[in-house]
Amino acid sequence: MSVSLRQSMAWIHGWLGLLAGWLLFAMFLTGTASYFRPEITRWMQPESRVPAVSTERAAATAIAYLQRTGADDLQWYVFLPDARRPTTEIFPVPKPDAAKTASRPDEIELDPATGRPVTARETRGGEQFYRFHFQLQLPHPWGRWLAGLCAMFMLGTILSGVITHKRIFADFFTLRWNKGQRSWLDAHNVSAVLALPYHAMITYTGLITLVTMYMPWPILANYKQPAEFAQIAFSQPADRAATGKRVGLTPIAPLIADAGHRLGAPVSRIIVHHPNDQAATITLAQGTGTTINARGPSVTYDGATGRWLEQSGTGSTALATAGVMLGLHLAQYAGPALRWAYFAMGLTGVAMVGTGLLLWTAKRRRPGAAPFFGLRLVERLNIAVIVGLPIGMASYLLANRLIPAMQPGRADAEVATMFWAWGLVALVQLVRPARRAWREGFALAALVFTAIPLADALTTTRGLPGSLLGGDTLFAAFDLAMLAIAALFAFAAWRTGRVPAPRRRRAAPSAPSLSETLHA
């Protein structure tokens, strides 16, 4: 018995999409939000307003702070401010045998002008959505494996979906409203086909971001020391053992200027190994915002003398390809216009997965027949995720404004709010009839998103009217985006309340047309 390729691919497309659909929806939505990761963090710390300074000055103040607080550390990582992130971020790594300095956190935000820690409300900011996008709030490494599995399902779904299609070009222009199952199919096709290159790109490059974790075996076949490959791939300088002889660190500012010339782009990252040791090295790397390749080259200097040691970048086409794929996924190279385009395409991904999930139920619902268990399960999970997750995300942002700014443990409380809100919506909807649950869920989402700019105006000095008049672009854009999303949910609530009457009338006499195969 032979099955046509198109038939078998249609079958597997449905199952792959269904099994991974809810997690993929969450990954698409949080990933899309993560295109504005630094902006979300800035909005969530409204009291933090730090002035822009030169790269050299930011580097000097950061190193001075590290010399005061961790002169004997093993390594220092410094991320210098750029156009989107106004603060310096430092990650000091103590020596393994060092006595734990109690009060110092692993990650510290500095004011680049003064080199003092920034005093703003404690929050995970945009980092929460970004981490959830590929770790799914699960312990390491399970979240990453699960996200990778979902990405593989997505890849399989895209490939089988393309094979299944007879008329990929015609689907560009086909959208039939108010036709029940047909409309969901058309919406699924339009959102999937229009942005198909984006979906394929973002799925494959997503797998590439963690390729050394998912597929490390080729490295083991070619390198006795796998670290050797990592060193080449991630542009790390050759390791130098500490001598134990104390020699002060050379001033950083001249190196920043020199590296800027050598790399042809401003430096954005400083890595100091064995600070204040004779064998200290200072590695300066190019910013990810300047080229598509997210693994830009770096220059390494002797930390004691300031002498140039080496410049990374092997000229390997494979590694350059992987770097560009990584850059395409992270989109840090993108300017404002391209970033909004990424955001819009990410939303088509959300729509593609969402309509696909709805299509699964629309295709199996028979007028007049009681829904079978699987159909009810899928429908309830659809509501829990498609309605629940946006409400959870909105609650996270709202909690940022409602939890007192100085309350200890508030960052964790914000995250907890996101999942409590999501979980509550997922549970409470179970006691409502499905269509009502959709409608009330959308309405609730509209309310919560509307509440965000209101809470912002009431609890901070950077509310919407003020930010619009004062030219505070980031805050104005953020609050307006929240209102736009709220309007979208209000529209969805209105539509779900309106649709059933004409649909039932039309569907009843032409029942056979509903069982028409999807891909005929």
Residues of this chain that interact with another protein (CB under 8 A) are 1-3, 5, 8-9, 11-12, 14, 152, 155-156, 159-160, 204, 207-208, 211-212, 214-215, 217-224, 229, 232-233, 314, 316-319, 321-322, 325, 364, 372, 374-375, 515, 517
Q: Which is nearer to another protein, 188 or 462 (CB)?
A: 188
The distance of closest approach from Cβ of residue 5 to another protein in the complex, given in angstroms and rounded to an integer, is 6
Q: Which is nearer to another protein, 305 or 321 (CB)?
A: 321
Nearest to 124 by CA among 112, 116, 135, 114: 135
State the minimum distance, in angstroms, from the CB of residue 182 to another protein: 16
Q: Report in angstroms how near the CB of residue 180 gets to another protein at its nearest.
A: 17
Report residue 89: phi and psi, to 5°: -115, 130
- C-alpha radius of gyration, the chain, whole number: 26
Contact 235, 297 (CB under 8 A): yes
Q: At what angle do helices 252-263 and 55-70 cross, to 10 degrees?
A: 130
CA 242 to CA 237: how far, in whole Å?
Answer: 14
How far apart, in whole angstroms, are the C-alpha atoms of residue 112 and residue 51?
A: 8
CA-to-CA distance for 183 and 42, rounded, in angstroms?
40
Please say which residue, 156 or 356, places its beta carbon nearer to another protein.
Answer: 156
**CA 168, chain centre distance (Å):** 29
Q: Tell me the closest approach of the beta carbon of residue 166 to another protein, in angstroms.
A: 17
Min. distance of Cβ 360 from another protein in angstroms? Answer: 10
- Residue closer to another protein by CB (options 337, 369) is 369
Closest distance to another protein from the beta carbon of 291 (Å): 18
* Nearest alpha carbon to residue 402 among 121, 126, 129: 121
Least Cβ distance, residue 320 to another protein (angstroms):
9
Q: Are 378 and 357 in contact (CB under 8 A)?
A: yes
Backbone angles phi, psi at 74, to 5 degrees: -75, -50
C-beta closer to another protein: residue 319 or 331 = 319
By beta-carbon proximity to another protein, the closer residue of 5 and 484 is 5
CA distance 384 to 23: 12
Residue 9 or residue 192: which is nearer to another protein going by CB?
9
Residue with Cβ nearer another protein (378 or 411): 378
- d(C-alpha 26, C-alpha 386), whole Å: 8
- Judge if the upstream peptide bond of residue 141 is cis by omega within 30 degrees of 0: yes
d(CA 300, CA 136): 36
- Is the CB of 208 or the CB of 267 nearer to another protein? 208
Q: How far is the CB of 238 from another protein (least distance, A)?
A: 16
Q: Which is nearer to another protein, 74 or 207 (CB)?
A: 207
User: Which CB atom, from 8 or from 290, has the smaller least distance to another protein?
Assistant: 8
Shortest approach of another protein to residue 188 CB, angstroms? Answer: 17
Please say which residue, 166 or 224, places its beta carbon nearer to another protein: 224
| Contact residues for 375 (Cβ-Cβ < 8 A; gap 6+) | 361, 364, 365
CB of residue 333 vs another protein: minimum separation in angstroms?
A: 19
SS3 77: strand
Q: How far is CA 129 from CA 5, 144, 496, in A?
A: 38, 14, 28
The number of helix segments (H) and strand segments (E) in the chain equals 21, 7
Residues in the chain: 520
The residues pairing with 434 across neighbouring beta strands, listed in sequence order, are: none
Q: Backbone phi, then psi, for 323, in 5-degree steps?
A: -65, -40
Rounded Cα–Cα distance for residues 279 and 241 (Å): 7
Least distance to another protein, CB of residue 74, Å: 28
Rounded CA separation 186/206 (Å): 27
Between 295 and 462, CB nearer to another protein: 295
Which residues, 6 or more positions from 461, have their beta carbon under 8 angstroms from its beta carbon? 46
How many angstroms separate the CA atoms of 382 and 441, rounded? Answer: 12
- Alpha-carbon distance 153 to 352, whole Å? 14
In the complex, minimum distance from the CB of residue 307 to another protein, in angstroms, rounded to a whole number: 27
Nearest by Cα to 193 from 355, 23, 381, 45: 355
CB of 222 to another protein, least distance (A): 4
* Least distance between another protein and beta carbon 236 (Å): 14
**CB nearer to another protein: pick between 19 and 242:** 19
- Helix ranges (DSSP H) in 223-331: 226-233, 252-263, 317-330
